[in-house]
Structure 1
Amino acid sequence: MSNYTAIREVLNRMSGQYNTFTVPKIYVEYTGDLTTAILLNQVVFLSDKSKRSDGFFYKSYQEWEEEICLSERQVRYSVKKLKNMGFLETSIKKANGAPTVHYKLDYDKLLDSILTFCQIPLEQNVGFHSDNMSQTLTETTTETTTEITTEIPYAEIVNYLNHTAGTKYKHTTKKTQALIKARWNEGFGLDDFTNVINTKVNEWINDSNMKKYLRPETLFSPKFEGYLNQEGGEGNGNYKGSNQLSGYDFSKGNGNITF
Protein backbone atom coordinates (compact mmCIF):
# COMPACT_ATOMS: atom_id res chain seq x y z
CA MET A 1 0.00 0.00 0.00
CA SER A 2 1.42 3.40 -0.98
CA ASN A 3 2.05 6.14 1.55
CA TYR A 4 -0.60 8.36 -0.03
CA THR A 5 -3.18 5.56 0.07
CA ALA A 6 -2.40 4.78 3.69
CA ILE A 7 -2.64 8.38 4.82
CA ARG A 8 -5.76 8.92 2.74
CA GLU A 9 -7.42 5.99 4.49
CA VAL A 10 -6.49 7.51 7.82
CA LEU A 11 -7.96 10.88 6.84
CA ASN A 12 -11.17 9.21 5.72
CA ARG A 13 -11.46 7.21 8.91
CA MET A 14 -10.99 10.35 11.00
CA SER A 15 -13.39 12.53 9.03
CA GLY A 16 -17.14 13.10 8.98
CA GLN A 17 -19.79 11.61 11.22
CA TYR A 18 -23.52 12.18 11.00
CA ASN A 19 -24.54 12.60 14.64
CA THR A 20 -21.30 13.90 16.12
CA PHE A 21 -18.18 15.31 14.59
CA THR A 22 -14.72 14.75 15.95
CA VAL A 23 -12.25 17.18 14.45
CA PRO A 24 -8.62 16.00 14.43
CA LYS A 25 -6.43 18.38 16.36
CA ILE A 26 -4.01 18.51 13.46
CA TYR A 27 -6.70 20.11 11.27
CA VAL A 28 -7.11 22.94 13.79
CA GLU A 29 -3.37 23.46 14.08
CA TYR A 30 -2.92 23.24 10.32
CA THR A 31 -5.72 25.60 9.26
CA GLY A 32 -5.33 27.99 12.17
CA ASP A 33 -8.97 28.09 13.31
CA LEU A 34 -11.65 25.67 14.44
CA THR A 35 -14.28 26.73 11.89
CA THR A 36 -12.04 25.96 8.92
CA ALA A 37 -10.90 22.72 10.57
CA ILE A 38 -14.54 21.58 10.90
CA LEU A 39 -15.21 22.34 7.23
CA LEU A 40 -12.00 20.59 6.09
CA ASN A 41 -12.93 17.56 8.18
CA GLN A 42 -16.26 17.24 6.39
CA VAL A 43 -14.83 17.98 2.94
CA VAL A 44 -12.36 15.12 3.34
CA PHE A 45 -15.18 12.82 4.39
CA LEU A 46 -17.52 13.82 1.55
CA SER A 47 -14.95 13.79 -1.24
CA ASP A 48 -14.92 10.01 -1.44
CA LYS A 49 -18.71 9.87 -1.49
CA SER A 50 -19.17 11.80 -4.75
CA LYS A 51 -20.76 9.91 -7.64
CA ARG A 52 -19.53 12.45 -10.20
CA SER A 53 -16.73 11.40 -12.52
CA ASP A 54 -15.03 14.79 -12.16
CA GLY A 55 -14.65 14.42 -8.39
CA PHE A 56 -16.91 17.32 -7.42
CA PHE A 57 -19.62 17.09 -4.77
CA TYR A 58 -22.21 19.70 -3.87
CA LYS A 59 -23.72 21.05 -0.69
CA SER A 60 -26.17 23.88 -0.18
CA TYR A 61 -25.44 26.34 2.61
CA GLN A 62 -28.49 25.02 4.45
CA GLU A 63 -27.06 21.50 4.27
CA TRP A 64 -23.69 22.68 5.60
CA GLU A 65 -25.45 24.30 8.54
CA GLU A 66 -27.50 21.19 9.25
CA GLU A 67 -24.48 18.87 9.07
CA ILE A 68 -21.72 20.84 10.78
CA CYS A 69 -23.48 23.87 12.29
CA LEU A 70 -21.64 26.46 10.19
CA SER A 71 -23.45 29.49 8.80
CA GLU A 72 -23.20 30.55 5.15
CA ARG A 73 -20.79 33.33 6.09
CA GLN A 74 -18.56 30.90 8.00
CA VAL A 75 -18.56 28.42 5.10
CA ARG A 76 -17.69 31.15 2.59
CA TYR A 77 -14.83 32.41 4.75
CA SER A 78 -13.39 28.93 5.38
CA VAL A 79 -13.79 27.86 1.75
CA LYS A 80 -11.80 30.87 0.64
CA LYS A 81 -9.11 29.99 3.15
CA LEU A 82 -8.86 26.37 1.97
CA LYS A 83 -8.78 27.51 -1.66
CA ASN A 84 -5.92 29.88 -0.87
CA MET A 85 -4.09 26.97 0.77
CA GLY A 86 -4.21 25.32 -2.65
CA PHE A 87 -6.14 22.08 -2.34
CA LEU A 88 -9.82 22.99 -2.64
CA GLU A 89 -11.57 23.94 -5.87
CA THR A 90 -15.12 25.27 -6.27
CA SER A 91 -17.44 25.58 -9.25
CA ILE A 92 -21.05 26.60 -9.79
CA LYS A 93 -22.97 23.70 -11.31
CA LYS A 94 -26.62 22.74 -11.39
CA ALA A 95 -27.92 20.46 -8.67
CA ASN A 96 -31.60 19.54 -8.53
CA GLY A 97 -32.20 22.14 -11.22
CA ALA A 98 -30.64 25.05 -9.32
CA PRO A 99 -27.13 26.60 -9.48
CA THR A 100 -25.24 25.23 -6.48
CA VAL A 101 -21.65 25.49 -5.28
CA HIS A 102 -19.71 22.27 -5.95
CA TYR A 103 -16.47 21.40 -4.18
CA LYS A 104 -13.46 19.29 -5.16
CA LEU A 105 -10.59 18.28 -2.90
CA ASP A 106 -7.10 17.70 -4.29
CA TYR A 107 -5.96 14.86 -2.04
CA ASP A 108 -2.36 14.87 -3.24
CA LYS A 109 -1.88 18.57 -2.49
CA LEU A 110 -3.58 18.21 0.89
CA LEU A 111 -1.38 15.28 1.88
CA ASP A 112 1.79 17.00 0.68
CA SER A 113 0.82 20.12 2.58
CA ILE A 114 0.05 18.27 5.82
CA LEU A 115 3.26 16.25 5.63
CA THR A 116 5.23 19.45 5.07
CA PHE A 117 3.44 21.09 7.98
CA CYS A 118 4.30 18.13 10.20
CA GLN A 119 7.83 18.01 8.74
CA ILE A 120 7.47 14.31 7.88
CA PRO A 121 9.41 13.34 4.70
CA LEU A 122 7.62 10.67 2.67
CA GLU A 123 10.59 8.30 2.79
CA GLN A 124 10.39 8.19 6.59
CA ASN A 125 6.86 6.82 6.41
CA VAL A 126 7.79 3.60 4.63
CA GLY A 127 6.50 0.65 6.65
CA PHE A 128 3.95 2.67 8.64
CA HIS A 129 0.53 1.08 8.79
CA SER A 130 -2.68 3.03 8.40
CA ASP A 131 -3.81 2.14 11.94
CA ASN A 132 -0.88 3.97 13.56
CA MET A 133 -0.37 6.79 11.01
CA SER A 134 -2.87 9.06 12.79
CA GLN A 135 -0.99 8.73 16.08
CA THR A 136 2.31 9.45 14.32
CA LEU A 137 0.98 12.63 12.70
CA THR A 138 -0.45 13.88 15.99
CA GLU A 139 2.70 13.13 17.97
CA THR A 140 4.92 14.82 15.41
CA THR A 141 2.70 17.89 15.32
CA THR A 142 2.76 18.09 19.12
CA GLU A 143 6.57 18.03 19.11
CA THR A 144 6.91 20.61 16.35
CA THR A 145 6.13 24.28 16.92
CA THR A 146 4.93 25.87 13.68
CA GLU A 147 3.66 29.42 13.38
CA ILE A 148 0.34 29.72 11.58
CA THR A 149 -0.56 33.02 9.98
CA THR A 150 -4.29 33.57 9.71
CA GLU A 151 -5.27 35.71 6.76
CA ILE A 152 -6.76 39.03 7.81
CA PRO A 153 -10.01 39.65 5.85
CA TYR A 154 -9.41 43.33 5.05
CA ALA A 155 -11.72 43.26 2.02
CA GLU A 156 -14.58 41.52 3.81
CA ILE A 157 -14.49 44.02 6.69
CA VAL A 158 -14.23 47.21 4.61
CA ASN A 159 -16.75 46.04 2.00
CA TYR A 160 -19.19 45.21 4.78
CA LEU A 161 -18.73 48.72 6.20
CA ASN A 162 -19.37 50.19 2.74
CA HIS A 163 -22.42 47.98 2.25
CA THR A 164 -23.88 48.81 5.67
CA ALA A 165 -23.02 52.50 5.98
CA GLY A 166 -23.20 53.49 2.30
CA THR A 167 -19.53 54.50 2.26
CA LYS A 168 -16.81 53.94 -0.36
CA TYR A 169 -13.63 53.17 1.55
CA LYS A 170 -10.88 51.02 -0.01
CA HIS A 171 -9.60 47.94 1.78
CA THR A 172 -6.16 48.46 0.24
CA THR A 173 -5.46 51.74 2.09
CA LYS A 174 -2.42 51.21 4.34
CA LYS A 175 -3.84 53.24 7.24
CA THR A 176 -7.08 51.27 7.20
CA GLN A 177 -5.20 47.96 7.03
CA ALA A 178 -3.00 49.01 9.93
CA LEU A 179 -6.04 49.72 12.11
CA ILE A 180 -7.71 46.42 11.23
CA LYS A 181 -4.48 44.50 11.76
CA ALA A 182 -3.96 46.09 15.18
CA ARG A 183 -7.43 45.00 16.35
CA TRP A 184 -7.03 41.57 14.71
CA ASN A 185 -3.73 41.03 16.54
CA GLU A 186 -5.50 41.87 19.79
CA GLY A 187 -7.67 38.80 19.25
CA PHE A 188 -10.79 40.30 17.65
CA GLY A 189 -12.35 38.41 14.73
CA LEU A 190 -14.63 39.03 11.75
CA ASP A 191 -17.77 38.77 13.89
CA ASP A 192 -16.44 41.48 16.21
CA PHE A 193 -15.82 43.85 13.31
CA THR A 194 -19.29 43.31 11.85
CA ASN A 195 -20.84 43.73 15.31
CA VAL A 196 -19.09 47.07 15.84
CA ILE A 197 -20.11 48.23 12.37
CA ASN A 198 -23.73 47.22 12.96
CA THR A 199 -23.84 48.84 16.39
CA LYS A 200 -22.41 52.20 15.30
CA VAL A 201 -24.34 52.32 12.02
CA ASN A 202 -27.60 51.81 13.90
CA GLU A 203 -26.56 54.50 16.37
CA TRP A 204 -25.14 57.10 13.97
CA ILE A 205 -26.59 56.58 10.50
CA ASN A 206 -29.50 59.00 11.05
CA ASP A 207 -27.49 61.54 13.05
CA SER A 208 -26.14 64.21 10.71
CA ASN A 209 -23.41 65.15 13.21
CA MET A 210 -22.22 61.61 13.90
CA LYS A 211 -22.70 59.96 10.50
CA LYS A 212 -19.32 61.28 9.34
CA TYR A 213 -17.63 59.10 11.97
CA LEU A 214 -18.73 55.90 10.24
CA ARG A 215 -15.19 55.51 8.96
CA PRO A 216 -12.32 53.07 9.59
CA GLU A 217 -10.19 55.51 11.61
CA THR A 218 -13.01 55.89 14.13
CA LEU A 219 -14.62 52.44 14.18
CA PHE A 220 -11.36 50.45 14.21
CA SER A 221 -9.46 52.76 16.55
CA PRO A 222 -8.30 51.73 20.08
CA LYS A 223 -11.90 52.48 21.17
CA PHE A 224 -12.97 49.35 19.24
CA GLU A 225 -13.43 47.18 22.32
CA GLY A 226 -15.52 49.88 23.98
CA TYR A 227 -17.80 50.06 20.94
CA LEU A 228 -18.09 46.28 20.94
CA ASN A 229 -19.20 46.17 24.56
CA GLN A 230 -21.27 49.33 24.80
CA GLU A 231 -24.73 49.16 26.29
CA GLY A 232 -27.21 48.08 23.63
CA GLY A 233 -24.47 46.86 21.29
CA GLU A 234 -24.19 43.41 19.72
CA GLY A 235 -21.02 42.49 21.53
CA ASN A 236 -22.61 42.33 24.99
CA GLY A 237 -25.66 40.28 24.00
CA ASN A 238 -28.08 43.19 24.48
CA TYR A 239 -28.39 44.20 20.86
CA LYS A 240 -32.03 44.35 19.77
CA GLY A 241 -31.69 45.59 16.20
CA SER A 242 -31.61 43.60 12.98
CA ASN A 243 -28.55 41.53 12.13
CA GLN A 244 -27.44 43.19 8.91
CA LEU A 245 -24.90 40.43 8.27
CA SER A 246 -27.67 37.87 7.78
CA GLY A 247 -28.05 37.25 4.07
CA TYR A 248 -25.13 39.56 3.20
CA ASP A 249 -23.31 38.39 0.09
CA PHE A 250 -19.55 38.48 0.73
CA SER A 251 -18.92 37.76 -2.95
CA LYS A 252 -19.50 41.44 -3.76
CA GLY A 253 -16.68 43.93 -3.87
CA ASN A 254 -13.01 43.89 -4.80
CA GLY A 255 -10.97 41.18 -3.15
CA ASN A 256 -13.99 39.55 -1.54
CA ILE A 257 -14.87 35.89 -1.29
CA THR A 258 -15.85 34.51 -4.68
CA PHE A 259 -16.92 31.16 -6.05
Structure 2
Amino acid sequence: MSKLLINDNPLMVIPSLAVRIGMNEAVVLQQIHYWLQLSSHEKEGKKWVYNSYKEWQAQFPFWSESTIKRVINSLEKQGYLQSANFNQSKMDKTKWYTINYEILGETENQIDPSTDQNEPLSESTCSIDEGELTKAIPEITTETSSDKIIPYADIIDYLNQKINASYKSTTKKTKEYIEARWKEGFRINDFKKVIDQKSDEWLFDPHWCKYLRPETLFGPKFESYLNQKGGKQKWREEDFDLHD
Protein backbone atom coordinates (compact mmCIF):
# COMPACT_ATOMS: atom_id res chain seq x y z
CA MET A 1 0.00 0.00 0.00
CA SER A 2 1.05 3.60 -0.44
CA LYS A 3 2.37 5.86 2.32
CA LEU A 4 0.40 8.67 0.68
CA LEU A 5 -2.87 7.26 2.08
CA ILE A 6 -3.88 6.45 5.66
CA ASN A 7 -5.86 3.48 6.97
CA ASP A 8 -8.14 5.31 9.34
CA ASN A 9 -11.55 6.98 9.46
CA PRO A 10 -10.81 10.61 10.52
CA LEU A 11 -10.82 12.94 7.53
CA MET A 12 -7.19 13.93 7.01
CA VAL A 13 -5.11 14.65 3.93
CA ILE A 14 -1.40 14.19 3.25
CA PRO A 15 -0.20 17.74 2.31
CA SER A 16 2.27 16.55 -0.33
CA LEU A 17 -0.46 14.55 -2.08
CA ALA A 18 -2.84 17.53 -1.99
CA VAL A 19 -0.14 19.73 -3.56
CA ARG A 20 0.50 17.14 -6.25
CA ILE A 21 -3.05 16.23 -7.34
CA GLY A 22 -5.26 18.95 -5.79
CA MET A 23 -6.90 19.35 -2.38
CA ASN A 24 -10.35 18.16 -3.40
CA GLU A 25 -8.90 15.22 -5.31
CA ALA A 26 -6.80 14.19 -2.30
CA VAL A 27 -9.86 14.27 -0.01
CA VAL A 28 -11.93 12.08 -2.32
CA LEU A 29 -9.06 9.68 -3.03
CA GLN A 30 -8.38 9.25 0.69
CA GLN A 31 -12.06 8.53 1.38
CA ILE A 32 -12.26 5.95 -1.40
CA HIS A 33 -9.05 4.34 -0.13
CA TYR A 34 -10.51 4.05 3.37
CA TRP A 35 -13.67 2.28 2.16
CA LEU A 36 -11.72 0.02 -0.18
CA GLN A 37 -10.04 -1.42 2.92
CA LEU A 38 -13.48 -2.40 4.25
CA SER A 39 -15.08 -3.43 0.97
CA SER A 40 -16.11 -7.03 0.34
CA HIS A 41 -16.68 -6.38 -3.38
CA GLU A 42 -13.80 -7.95 -5.31
CA LYS A 43 -13.78 -7.88 -9.10
CA GLU A 44 -10.91 -8.66 -11.47
CA GLY A 45 -8.58 -9.21 -8.54
CA LYS A 46 -9.25 -5.77 -7.02
CA LYS A 47 -11.55 -4.36 -4.37
CA TRP A 48 -14.19 -1.88 -5.50
CA VAL A 49 -16.69 0.56 -4.00
CA TYR A 50 -19.73 1.97 -5.77
CA ASN A 51 -21.91 5.07 -5.51
CA SER A 52 -23.89 7.40 -7.72
CA TYR A 53 -22.90 11.07 -7.73
CA LYS A 54 -25.97 11.79 -5.61
CA GLU A 55 -24.86 9.21 -3.04
CA TRP A 56 -21.33 10.62 -3.01
CA GLN A 57 -22.85 14.03 -2.39
CA ALA A 58 -24.55 12.64 0.72
CA GLN A 59 -21.07 11.72 1.97
CA PHE A 60 -19.58 15.08 0.99
CA PRO A 61 -22.45 17.47 1.88
CA PHE A 62 -20.14 20.50 1.67
CA TRP A 63 -19.84 19.94 -2.12
CA SER A 64 -22.41 20.04 -4.90
CA GLU A 65 -22.92 17.02 -7.17
CA SER A 66 -21.27 18.92 -10.02
CA THR A 67 -18.17 19.54 -7.90
CA ILE A 68 -17.95 15.86 -6.95
CA LYS A 69 -18.37 14.83 -10.58
CA ARG A 70 -15.62 17.24 -11.59
CA VAL A 71 -13.26 15.92 -8.88
CA ILE A 72 -13.88 12.27 -9.77
CA ASN A 73 -13.37 13.01 -13.46
CA SER A 74 -10.10 14.74 -12.59
CA LEU A 75 -8.90 11.68 -10.65
CA GLU A 76 -9.85 9.43 -13.57
CA LYS A 77 -8.02 11.63 -16.09
CA GLN A 78 -4.92 11.71 -13.86
CA GLY A 79 -5.04 7.91 -13.69
CA TYR A 80 -5.39 7.61 -9.92
CA LEU A 81 -8.98 6.36 -10.06
CA GLN A 82 -10.38 3.57 -12.21
CA SER A 83 -14.11 3.19 -12.84
CA ALA A 84 -16.25 0.35 -14.21
CA ASN A 85 -19.82 -0.94 -14.29
CA PHE A 86 -20.35 -4.30 -12.61
CA ASN A 87 -24.09 -3.82 -12.03
CA GLN A 88 -26.35 -6.75 -12.83
CA SER A 89 -28.63 -4.49 -14.82
CA LYS A 90 -27.01 -2.60 -17.68
CA MET A 91 -29.65 0.08 -17.11
CA ASP A 92 -28.04 0.78 -13.75
CA LYS A 93 -25.36 3.40 -14.45
CA THR A 94 -23.97 3.50 -10.90
CA LYS A 95 -20.18 3.58 -11.25
CA TRP A 96 -17.76 1.35 -9.37
CA TYR A 97 -14.37 2.70 -8.34
CA THR A 98 -10.96 1.41 -7.37
CA ILE A 99 -7.60 3.14 -6.93
CA ASN A 100 -4.68 2.61 -9.29
CA TYR A 101 -2.06 2.08 -6.60
CA GLU A 102 0.67 1.59 -9.21
CA ILE A 103 0.20 5.13 -10.53
CA LEU A 104 0.01 6.38 -6.95
CA GLY A 105 3.29 4.63 -6.21
CA GLU A 106 4.95 6.41 -9.13
CA THR A 107 3.67 9.73 -7.78
CA GLU A 108 5.04 8.87 -4.35
CA ASN A 109 8.50 8.35 -5.84
CA GLN A 110 8.36 11.70 -7.61
CA ILE A 111 7.45 13.74 -4.53
CA ASP A 112 10.31 15.69 -2.96
CA PRO A 113 11.54 13.57 0.00
CA SER A 114 12.18 16.75 1.96
CA THR A 115 8.40 17.29 2.09
CA ASP A 116 6.99 16.04 5.37
CA GLN A 117 4.74 13.23 4.07
CA ASN A 118 4.02 11.65 7.41
CA GLU A 119 2.14 14.50 9.03
CA PRO A 120 -1.44 14.57 7.78
CA LEU A 121 -3.19 17.86 7.21
CA SER A 122 -5.94 18.04 9.84
CA GLU A 123 -9.43 19.25 9.06
CA SER A 124 -8.82 22.40 11.09
CA THR A 125 -6.24 23.61 8.55
CA CYS A 126 -7.82 22.40 5.30
CA SER A 127 -9.11 24.91 2.81
CA ILE A 128 -11.65 23.32 0.49
CA ASP A 129 -14.00 24.72 -2.14
CA GLU A 130 -17.67 25.15 -1.20
CA GLY A 131 -17.34 24.30 2.48
CA GLU A 132 -15.22 23.24 5.42
CA LEU A 133 -14.46 19.79 6.81
CA THR A 134 -15.87 19.43 10.29
CA LYS A 135 -16.09 15.69 10.92
CA ALA A 136 -15.29 12.26 9.53
CA ILE A 137 -17.44 11.32 6.56
CA PRO A 138 -19.85 8.39 7.03
CA GLU A 139 -20.30 5.70 4.43
CA ILE A 140 -23.74 5.21 2.78
CA THR A 141 -23.42 2.60 0.17
CA THR A 142 -20.48 0.19 0.66
CA GLU A 143 -20.94 -2.54 3.23
CA THR A 144 -18.46 -2.76 6.07
CA SER A 145 -16.35 -5.85 6.62
CA SER A 146 -17.67 -6.46 10.12
CA ASP A 147 -21.24 -7.16 11.15
CA LYS A 148 -20.41 -5.53 14.48
CA ILE A 149 -20.33 -2.09 12.89
CA ILE A 150 -23.94 -0.94 12.69
CA PRO A 151 -24.28 2.56 11.13
CA TYR A 152 -27.20 3.77 13.27
CA ALA A 153 -26.43 7.44 12.64
CA ASP A 154 -26.09 7.02 8.88
CA ILE A 155 -29.45 5.27 8.62
CA ILE A 156 -31.33 7.77 10.78
CA ASP A 157 -29.63 10.75 9.15
CA TYR A 158 -30.76 9.45 5.76
CA LEU A 159 -34.32 8.99 7.05
CA ASN A 160 -34.38 12.50 8.53
CA GLN A 161 -33.09 14.01 5.31
CA LYS A 162 -35.64 12.11 3.24
CA ILE A 163 -38.72 13.02 5.30
CA ASN A 164 -37.51 16.25 6.94
CA ALA A 165 -37.65 14.81 10.46
CA SER A 166 -35.39 14.88 13.50
CA TYR A 167 -35.29 11.33 14.85
CA LYS A 168 -32.31 10.50 17.06
CA SER A 169 -30.03 7.59 16.27
CA THR A 170 -29.23 7.18 19.97
CA THR A 171 -32.76 6.29 21.06
CA LYS A 172 -32.74 2.83 22.63
CA LYS A 173 -35.84 1.54 20.83
CA THR A 174 -34.68 2.83 17.46
CA LYS A 175 -31.30 1.13 17.87
CA GLU A 176 -33.04 -2.12 18.83
CA TYR A 177 -35.11 -2.14 15.62
CA ILE A 178 -32.08 -1.40 13.43
CA GLU A 179 -29.95 -3.97 15.24
CA ALA A 180 -32.64 -6.63 14.86
CA ARG A 181 -32.77 -6.15 11.10
CA TRP A 182 -28.97 -5.98 10.89
CA LYS A 183 -28.68 -9.34 12.66
CA GLU A 184 -31.08 -10.76 10.09
CA GLY A 185 -28.53 -9.92 7.41
CA PHE A 186 -29.94 -6.66 6.04
CA ARG A 187 -27.46 -3.90 5.28
CA ILE A 188 -27.45 -0.17 4.76
CA ASN A 189 -28.56 -0.35 1.13
CA ASP A 190 -31.63 -2.29 2.29
CA PHE A 191 -32.50 0.36 4.88
CA LYS A 192 -32.03 3.04 2.28
CA LYS A 193 -34.29 1.25 -0.21
CA VAL A 194 -37.06 0.83 2.35
CA ILE A 195 -36.81 4.51 3.31
CA ASP A 196 -36.96 5.54 -0.34
CA GLN A 197 -39.89 3.30 -1.22
CA LYS A 198 -42.06 4.08 1.77
CA SER A 199 -41.34 7.81 1.78
CA ASP A 200 -42.32 7.97 -1.90
CA GLU A 201 -45.52 6.12 -1.06
CA TRP A 202 -46.53 7.68 2.25
CA LEU A 203 -44.92 11.11 2.62
CA PHE A 204 -47.76 13.11 1.11
CA ASP A 205 -50.56 10.87 2.32
CA PRO A 206 -52.22 12.56 5.34
CA HIS A 207 -53.10 9.19 6.89
CA TRP A 208 -50.01 7.07 6.18
CA CYS A 209 -47.33 9.72 6.65
CA LYS A 210 -47.44 9.16 10.43
CA TYR A 211 -45.97 5.69 9.84
CA LEU A 212 -42.75 7.14 8.42
CA ARG A 213 -40.95 6.41 11.66
CA PRO A 214 -38.19 3.99 12.71
CA GLU A 215 -40.42 1.55 14.59
CA THR A 216 -42.62 1.07 11.53
CA LEU A 217 -40.04 1.17 8.74
CA PHE A 218 -37.50 -1.02 10.54
CA GLY A 219 -40.00 -3.24 12.34
CA PRO A 220 -41.32 -6.75 11.53
CA LYS A 221 -42.63 -5.65 8.10
CA PHE A 222 -39.17 -4.51 6.96
CA GLU A 223 -38.61 -7.42 4.55
CA SER A 224 -42.08 -6.96 3.06
CA TYR A 225 -41.36 -3.29 2.40
CA LEU A 226 -37.99 -4.17 0.91
CA ASN A 227 -39.48 -6.65 -1.54
CA GLN A 228 -42.51 -4.58 -2.47
CA LYS A 229 -42.92 -4.73 -6.24
CA GLY A 230 -44.13 -1.67 -8.16
CA GLY A 231 -47.14 0.47 -7.44
CA LYS A 232 -48.36 1.29 -3.98
CA GLN A 233 -48.95 -1.61 -1.67
CA LYS A 234 -52.03 -1.28 0.50
CA TRP A 235 -51.71 -1.91 4.21
CA ARG A 236 -54.22 -2.01 7.02
CA GLU A 237 -53.41 -0.43 10.36
CA GLU A 238 -53.73 -3.81 12.07
CA ASP A 239 -50.89 -5.09 9.88
CA PHE A 240 -48.41 -3.00 11.87
CA ASP A 241 -49.26 -4.28 15.36
CA LEU A 242 -47.75 -1.07 16.77
CA HIS A 243 -48.93 1.47 19.30
CA ASP A 244 -48.83 5.18 18.46
Q: TM-score, normalised by structure 1?
A: 0.40
TM-score (norm 2): 0.42
Name the structure where helix makes up a greater proportion of residues: 1
